[in-house]
Amino acid sequence: MGNENPRKLHLGKKQSAGKALLETNELIFRPSDGSPRLKIPFSTIKSAQAVGGELLLETAVGPISFTLGQTAEKWCQKILHPKTRAEKLGLKPETQVSLLGGFDPEFLKELRAATRNISEDKVNPAGDLIFLSVDSTKQLTTQIAKTTRTIKGATALWIVYPKGKTEITENEVISAGRKSGLKDVKVVGFSPTHTALKFVLPLSSR
Say which CATH topology domain 3-82 has: PH-domain like (2.30.29)
The ranges assigned to domains in the chain are 3-82, 86-205
Q: What is the pLDDT of residue 15?
A: 78
Which residue, among 184, 179, 181, has the nearest Cα to 206 in the 3D structure? Answer: 181
68 phi and psi angles, rounded to 5 deg: -120, -10
What pTM does this model have? 0.74
Confidence at residue 3, expressed as pLDDT on a 0 to 100 scale = 55
Give the per-residue pLDDT at 111. Answer: 96
Q: What is the pLDDT of residue 133?
A: 97
Backbone angles phi, psi at 82, to 5 degrees: -65, 145
CB crowding 55-65: b at 16 or more within 10 Å, else e: bbbebeeeebb
Beta carbons of 53 and 67 less than 8 angstroms apart: yes
Angle of helix 170-179 versus helix 137-148 axis, rounded to 10: 30
The pLDDT value given to residue 1: 40
Closest among 63, 103, 124 to 194, alpha carbons compared: 103
pLDDT value for 37? 85
CB 190: neighbour CB atoms within 10 A?
A: 25
Give 164's contacts (C-beta < 8 A, 6+ positions apart). Answer: none
Asked if residues 71 and 19 have their Cβ atoms less than 8 Å apart, the reply is no
Note down pLDDT in tens along the chain; length 206 residues.
445 454 566 665 677 888 888 887 788 888 888 888 888 889 899 999 999 998 999 998 888 888 888 889 999 999 999 888 999 999 999 999 999 999 999 999 999 999 999 999 999 988 999 999 999 999 999 999 999 999 999 999 999 999 989 999 999 999 999 999 999 999 988 998 999 999 999 998 88
What is the structure's pLDDT at 21? 82
CATH number of 86-205: 3.40.50.150
